Amino acid sequence: MRFQFLLLSAFSFCLLAIPAHAGQLASWKFDAARNRLDFKTDAGVQPKAVMLFNPTRLVIDLPGIGFPKPTITQKLTGNFRSLRVGLFDGGTTRLVLELQPGYTMNPKRVQFTGENPIDWYVTIPVPERGSTIPTLSPRPTLPR
C-alpha cells in the first residue's frame, strides 16, 4: 500500500511539472495591396487589439498563443513602416503593425474577422496623413 502511494505521488509530481500546452502562431501574412493582415494559430484564440501612438501602431495580442522564435521584424513599404511578431510575455504573442511617421488611421475602422477560432484576418483602413485619432480598441468577432 505504501509503495502504491509513493508511486502515485511521484506520478502526480511529474504531471504538475509538465507545462500546459499553449497554442502557437502557425502563420501570418500582411498584404499591403489589400491592407489586410492574415494569421493562423494551431489553437483557438480571441485576439485583442489597441492603437498606440508615438509612434502610431496597431498592436494585436494573441493570449494563450506562444511564439518559439526571437522577434521577427518585416520591413514594409508605403504607409506602413514594419510588422513585428514576437512573444510579448510567457503566454501572449504580439503582432505590431507600425505606420510611417505622420500617418494615422481610425481605429474604429479596423475590422477583425474570424473565419473560425484559428483563422483570422484583420482589415486595416488606409492610413492618412494627419492628426492623431483617439485610442479605441477594435473588437474581434467570430462568424455566427
Q: Strand 140-141 and strand 111-116: pairing?
A: parallel
Cα separation, 140 vs 144, in Å, equals: 13
What's the confidence (pLDDT) of residue 17?
37
- Quick one: which of 108, 98, 97, 110 has its CA closest to 133? 108
End-to-end Cα separation, the chain, in angstroms: 54
Secondary structure (3-state) at 7? helix
pLDDT at position 131: 60
State the CATH architecture for 23-141. Sandwich (2.60)
Q: What value does the mean pLDDT of the chain take?
A: 82
pLDDT for res 92: 96
Confidence (pLDDT) at 13: 41
Closest CA to 50 of 142, 138, 127: 138
For 15-71, what is each residue's pLDDT tens digit?
333 345 579 999 999 998 899 999 999 999 999 999 999 999 999 999 999 998 999
Per-residue b or e along 3-14, where b marks 16 or more CB atoms closer than 10 Å to that residue's CB? eeeeeeeeeeee
The three grid cell numbers given for residue 14, joined into one nine-digit string? 511529474
In this structure, what is the dihedral angle of CA atoms 94, 33, 137, 106, given to the nearest 10 degrees? 140
Per-domain residue ranges of the chain: 23-141
Q: What are residue 53's phi and psi, to 5 degrees? A: -125, 160
pLDDT at 25: 96
The span from the CA of 81 to the CA of 78, in Å, is 7
Look up residue 46 and give its three cell numbers.
Answer: 480571441
